[in-house]
Amino acid sequence: MKNKEIRVFEAFAGFGGASFGLRKAGLKHRVVMYSEWDKWAQELFEANHDYPVPLFADIETNEFQTKGDMTKGDFSSIPEFDLFTGGFPCQPFSSAGLGKGELDPRGTLFYSIIQVLKSFKTKVKPKYVLLENVKGMTHKKHLPTFNKIKEMLKEEGYLIDHKVLNSKDFGVPQNRERLWIFAERSDLFQKRLLRNGDKSFFDVISEKYSVDPSKRKPFHDYLDPQNGRKVHEQHFLKDYQVEKLIEKHNMPLDEFLMSGHQRSLCLDIYNKKLKKEEISITLTEPHHNSLRVVEHLGQNPDHIISPGEKSRGYTVRKLTVEEHFRLMGFIDGKIELNQNDLSYQQLCKRAGNGWDINVASKIFQEIFEN
């Protein structure tokens, strides 16, 4: 399908991670339908598609959050497509959430994916399914759910491979472990097995696309000052906030100057560590965010240096919106962030809940290699 337009159903779309992954891979495609219940994510998704994409369950009712809800639409209305993608809600399986799994209503949304596949009763089923979730789904507590997911995909005629991949291994300096599940219609998967021999689909990806850590760009290079952008004052922590981090929470900020690093580093507040290996911790929603940027004075020439910063010799700040998206695999100018309509919180939430489009692009390259 390398030269043929790929028809995509993008479920739980967020900002459109699958769309951007396909674009980054240089693959011709068209999203024939998408689902997303968050109105701010819908707005961002639609701002980044230059053609109208029908929203699944595009209905208005008196119920809370029905528009775009995967559990509320008419499955018979779904057009034919080749590729189903879905980052179905990960909070039920996440260590940052409560880890309720299927006890959380969001954890049952996988059944909607099966309903989509079942809607092709009289037609040939879609060729490919690519799903993404947190590593926590593979933990012992959630294994019954994970095994059920694999079993149900097999019942629909798919063969499956899965693996936890880390963004830092593919060139982006973020420690982001995500479970990827690739399901391919059994008639096609058998051909892939013949091509790959005894190597699994994801083993081939790791072999072909992983990047040597010594060749990976450091966290510092993904920050605004190194990309010609000014960091606004509201992102910098006040002196009293930094003092609180040092005195009350025992943050190892003094190690920044002692370490001899000339480049900016990521501070992991949750684990009280400076990431001297020059990577970022996992980006999350803002209310879970424990990431701060520590920089030498002068890194942000427009910043007004406070007395405390002058005394300490460094600044501490939050990531900007643009930095969030760079650490999710984006190049500046490749996404319309719609910052006039969407707030810092809303946009950072989109990034934290989204796909690393760099990893996604490698997976898509391999899926459509032949």
Task: Specify whether 90 is catalytic.
Answer: yes
Task: Assess contact for 12 and 38: CB atoms under 8 A.
Answer: no
- The sign of the torsion formed by the CA atoms of 120, 68, 55, 17 equals negative
Of the residues 31, 33, 44, 90, only one is catalytic, namely 90
- Tokens for 314, please give them: 């460094």
Dihedral-angle region of residue 174 (phi above 0 means left; psi in -120 to 50 means alpha; beta otherwise) = beta
- For 91-110, give one letter per residue: b (16+ CB within 10 A) or e: bbbbebbebebbebebbbbb
Contact 85, 11 (CB under 8 A): yes
Q: Are 73 and 109 in contact (CB under 8 A)?
A: no
Q: Shortest CA distance to 84 belongs to which of 112, 49, 47, 51?
A: 112
- Pair 70, 35: CB distance under 8 Å: yes
Pairwise CA distance, residues 163 & 202, whole Å: 6
Q: In a 3-state reduction of DSSP, which class is residue 134? A: strand
CA distance 170 to 12: 24
**Are 300 and 315 a contacting pair, CB within 8 Å?**
yes
Catalytic residue list: 90
